[in-house]
Chain A
């Protein structure tokens, strides 16, 4: 079972005894507690930043600067009545919130928070687990988190939650492909799936060796868009579009179950920000002064600082951008992100073989894209020419809200 936890971690070099087990348990508990606290702070941070951007004050009653507002809301939700809709599928309805919060917790386990630490002669990595399949674990967890949303909507036994959950699952599956392809680029350069190895590959020179630069910047933006859609955060929050779907998949939920969905969403936001930092910004990499205790604290601070930047960007996006229409969302996913990331994977792989190979593949892809674009244009012109004499077909209009691509 050592392989599951990570062969790379020097903690397991001398076998697993109770001391190692204790260290692992402490790591898990610390990560769990830190995640819960950061979710609390993140909700406060989001409300404060949003209200600053909208020239409001925001929560400012509970605690200093309203810091305890989230705690107060949590306590309130905890003591509210837990309603169970009459037409709900009881078991699945109760199960769904846990299915969405569990992957949120688990996927943080692979994030390298800092470097190596030595405590009482035991040297270990500052990350809960370093499995050899590292980043695939994240993809597995993000594909599992679809279930929570999907089943929540279905089991509510009502119209709008079902629509919300159908949207959610279509959206998450669509963007998973682009997400996987962008992760492939990083894996291609690092030569390893392990997040620790990915971070170590980027840690030679500050900034210069980060994959943000090495993959050619474009994958970073593709990844950002893909995970924003995967998180169903604005501007991709069609899952809970309140103007169209009441509240989306969690309409029928109340009390602590609703709070669990809410927590899962924010926890996923934090985890994904940490993953962006790990994959493209070198994780805890940064200039470290070699002073007694600071040598392990400073990387952690670097990691936290970088993550905070992305958390701010998410809030900023929410404040600044309007929501996409559903067909625009699907077009962006299937017609822009997937071809772009697929092409970029090919270019990057060719560049790994040799410079001229890379240039050649890039030119070939440009030519192919041009041809494809032209042929699509010719085809649509012909279609218009055929349809123009008669009355326009009613089915030809884009279906709003209906995930036509799956049917």
Chain B
């Protein structure tokens, strides 16, 4: 199975895949392991980049670009923004256990998930890449952008519009919730416990 997979790709493709996969894996391990929330967010960016490279390798260029623009460029930036603002950008001790039994539970779920993945991998062909995203788009005139645009705005138009309506409703809802009865948005003086004027300390770690 693995040899047939390797035979179908070129050396460059295999090498790119190996590097990107290593980046993705190390990044996602880093998200969990890093003690500082900001470092975790950075590792998440690294993971997203690796995934974008994997998308490019599957000739899904548009998806790769959107992945970087939306996730790395907007969502994680907002994460960081919130982390910096709420002042939770301090290192957390891993010894403390806020939720009991979460670790054994997590370990059990990981084992279960991996077992399921392996079962699927050995039991069926589709999970090892027999079906490629690049298939239909490669033969089209406008490439994957045209293919994606056509399917989003014809076949899946309703789902697409519903999703956009959902996002608009979420934004309006957030504005309504953040609004004070007096007509003023929650401003600088609304949270007295927020350490807005304190000097920020990225780390509690004292440098030697």
Contacts and interface: CB of A to CB of B under 8 A. Distances in A.
A169 interface: yes
Contacts, number: 134
Contact of B189 (A144, A150, A159, A395): A395
B2 to A, nearest CB: 21
A154 B83 CA distance: 11
Interface in B169-204: 178, 180, 182-190, 196, 199-203
Given A133-B62, A140-B69, A92 B77 contact: no
Contact of A399 (B81, B180, B187): B187
A377 B200 CA distance: 40
Interface string A378-398: 000001000000000111100
A320 interface: no
A60 B196 CA distance: 46
Contact of B77 (A4, A146, A158, A407): A146
Interface stretch (A82-90, A288-296, A360-368): A82-90
B179 to A, nearest CB: 12
B16 A1 contact: yes
B73 interface: yes
Contacts of A68: none
Interface string A59-96: 00000000000000000000000000011111110000
Given A146-B73, A173-B77, A393 B184 contact: yes
A162 B77 contact: no
Given A3-B59, A402-B188, A162 B66 contact: no
A175 B150 CA distance: 28
A46 interface: no
B202 A87 contact: yes
A43 interface: no
A345 interface: no
Given A146-B73, A395-B182, A407 B85 contact: yes
Given A92-B39, A159-B200, A404 B187 contact: yes
Interface residues of B, number: 50
A4 B182 contact: no
A170 B81 CA distance: 8
Contacts of A144: 68, 72-73
A112 interface: no
Contact of A157 (B13, B45, B187, B201): B201
B39 A402 contact: no
Contact of B85 (A131, A147, A159, A166): A166
Contacts of B69: 136, 139-140, 143
B61 A4 contact: yes
A162 B80 contact: no
A190 interface: no
A1 B57 contact: yes
A131 B59 CA distance: 11
Given A132-B143, A140-B69, A169 B77 contact: yes
A154 B188 contact: no
Contacts of B182: 393, 395-396
A150 B77 contact: yes
Given A143-B77, A154-B84, A169-B80, A162 B200 contact: yes
A392 B164 CA distance: 39
A7 interface: yes
Given A144-B73, A147-B77, A383-B183, A89 B38 contact: yes
B84 to A, nearest CB: 6
13 contacts: A1-B16, A7-B143, A88-B207, A136-B65, A157-B201, A159-B199, A159-B200, A169-B77, A383-B183, A393-B182, A395-B189, A402-B188, A407-B185
Interface of B: 12-13, 16, 36, 38-39, 42, 45, 56-57, 59, 61-62, 64-66, 68-69, 72-74, 77-78, 80-81, 84-85, 89, 142-145, 178, 180, 182-190, 196, 199-203, 207
